[in-house]
Structures are given as structure tokens and as C-alpha cells.
Amino acid sequence: MSSRKNDNKPTPVLETTPPARTKKVEKIIGPTMLDGRLTFGVKYKNIKVPQLVIAEVLHIEAPQELLKYYEERLQFNDIID
């Protein structure tokens, strides 16, 4: 077994500007904070490696997918009088 680091591992790409409209969001993986900014892991169709996309960019690039992501995770608690 080698203790050598795997140099073939892809480096995350941080998107700070909306990409060309040819990229379609397949799945929003989840949020994280990166350098104090809300960032989402996003898997695009026909692209193997998920990318990190700043929330503001994702709002422009894929508003419906982002809304669906939030709706699927939104939970309400019952209020007891």
C-alpha cells in the first residue's frame, strides 16, 4: 500500500459567474460556507465532477432547481397552544 497522495483527484471548481446556458443542473448536492459565502455543491449533466457554485450565481443560473432544493428540505413544526 502506498502512502502517496492521489494526485489524480480533481480539484473543486468555484463558479463565481454564471456559466454558459449549455450547462444544465442535474442535482444540487448541498450547501457549505466557503470564505464566508454561501456556496452549493452542484452536479451538472454530462460533467463528472461536481462544482462549487456561489449562491448568488445559482440564484441566476438555476432558480427553479434551487427553489426545489429548498422546498424538499423545508420542515414546519406544529405550534401547540
Residue ranges for the chain with pLDDT beneath 50: 1-4, 10
Can you give the pLDDT at residue 78? 84
Taking residue 76's Cβ as centre, other Cβ atoms within 10 Å add up to 5
Give me the pLDDT at residue 70, please: 94
Q: What is the pLDDT of residue 3?
A: 46
What is the model's pLDDT at position 75?
87
Residue 33 Ramachandran class (φ > 0 left, ψ -120 to 50 alpha, else beta): beta
- Please tell me the pTM assigned to this model: 0.69
The pLDDT assigned to 80 comes to 79
Q: In the prediction, which pLDDT does 79 show?
A: 82
